[in-house]
Amino acid sequence: MHSLSYERARDSAHAIALAQQPGSAFIGDGTNLLDLIKADVEHPARLVDITRTGLDRITETADGGLRIGALARNSDTADHRLVRERYPLLAQALLAGASPQLRNMATAGGNLMQRTRCPYFTDTAFDMCNKRMPGSGCGAREGYNRVHAILGASPACIAVNPSDMNVALAALDATLLLGSPGGERMVPVTQFHRLPGDTPQQDTLLRPGELILALDLPASPFATHAHYLKIRDRASYAFALVSVAAGLDIDNGVVRRAAIALGGVAHKPWRVRAAEQLLEGQRLTDETCRAAALALTAGAKAFRDNRFKIELAQRAIVRTLRQAEGRA
Ligand SMILES: Cc1cc2nc3c(=O)[nH]c(=O)nc-3n(C[C@H](O)[C@H](O)[C@H](O)COP(=O)(O)OP(=O)(O)OC[C@H]3O[C@@H](n4cnc5c(N)ncnc54)[C@H](O)[C@@H]3O)c2cc1C
Ligand code: SF4
């Protein structure tokens, strides 16, 4: 047991100022962080409560997009009229996550920052986990790795990002607004989450004491043809083995633009622009969908228990594209 202090921030500037003390962690609704503190995985010296900072609003932007405050709850976002109308992909992905009770609590910022569900990371009984204890090794590489990465893994870590929301945000080209004492910066969500490399302890590009203020969705051409498919061991309340977020802009049967992101397969949502380009200017057929699926999973590498994920991902991509088109 270790002691920690608690401060409630009155606004974002106050939250950022409080978090400059080393050892501080922002806490949204705590559905991930509190579990990790109780499990002795995370040890913040001070919690900075950001739930009263007023960052929970969803507003239209001048360019026809949407700004979602970092404290917007997953249920409220999924249920928002403009999200349902313009970004059904995001609404579907959010509703595929967790349970209604959790979605009522889970914030957008917390979902972006939630940590991997690799059992060697979340259970301190295991003494090998480079993400939890840098330099200790990776228990999953030679251990139980059914739910682990097939793309972008490194010798140091083969964990996956567990979020559904992040997969849709990647396909929708969302950008994050981050705040620090030095000012604000924008980071595309596709660059925000990192591959593990030699430093798997670092999930994202967020700097210490930096606060996610909001996420911006650009105007989307995928309001009509979009689908999120989540494949998991149970029908509900389980993390994705593989998930696919696909958006298509179709004119007279021909794909003008495509965006496809894969979840459950890598340390970050997986997008390959070249795979999308194979569809653009084409009609969707089994052949074009299959070609895109192979391009999106090119270089996939399985470990002992997760070979099934490669074919599962490829089939899921084809099915999601067909569902997005409206033919499945
Ligand atoms: C049983 C269970 C099942 C779940 N199933 C799914 C699922 O199927 N799909 C899915 O996507 N998710 C799932 N989740 C995860 C859930 O969506 C996240 O726990 C939730 O989104 C986290 O939000 P929070 O506000 O509670 O974050 P917290 O727990 O408060 O914080 C999580 C992390 O984010 C950081 N943080 C929070 N807000 C900010 C901010 N604005 N700026 C910077 N850092 C911030 C915190 O410091 C902490 O490190 C599940 C969770 C549980 C407990
Ligand atoms: S996969 Fe990553 S999180 Fe899991 S044991 Fe290996 S280093 Fe830790």
Which domain, by its residues, includes 280? 225-325
Tell me the average pLDDT across 190-196: 98
Domains in the chain, number = 2
pLDDT score of 200: 98
Read out DSSP for 198-267? T-TT--BSPPTT-EEEEEEE---S-SSEEEEEEE-SSSSS---SEEEEEEEEEETTEEEEEEEEEESSSS
Distance between CA 202 and CA 207 in Å, rounded? Answer: 10
243 alpha carbon, closest ligand: 1
C-beta 50 within 6 A of ligand 2: no
Record the tokens describing residue 283, joined without a space: 């009609």
138 C-alpha to center of ligand 1: Å? 24
C-beta 138 within 6 A of ligand 2: yes
316 C-alpha to center of ligand 1: Å? 26
CATH assignment of the domain containing 229 = 3.30.390.50
Atom of ligand 1 nearest to the CA of 98: 5
Is the pLDDT at 104 greater than 70? The verdict is: yes
* Averaged pLDDT score across all residues of the chain: 97
Distance between CA 169 and CA 290 in Å, rounded? Answer: 23
135 occurs within a structural domain: no
Tell me the average pLDDT across 92-103: 97
pLDDT score of 235: 85
153 alpha carbon, closest ligand: 2
pLDDT score of 327: 66
Atom of ligand 2 nearest to the CA of 138: 6
CATH assignment of the domain containing 42 = 3.30.43.10
22 occurs within a structural domain: yes
119 alpha carbon, closest ligand: 2
**99 HSE (CA, 13 A, CB side):** 5
Give backbone dihedrals phi and psi of 21, rounded to 5 degrees, phi first: -70, 125
Distance between CA 177 and CA 179 in Å, rounded? Answer: 7
C-beta 167 within 6 A of ligand 1: no
21 occurs within a structural domain: yes
23 occurs within a structural domain: yes
pLDDT score of 167: 98
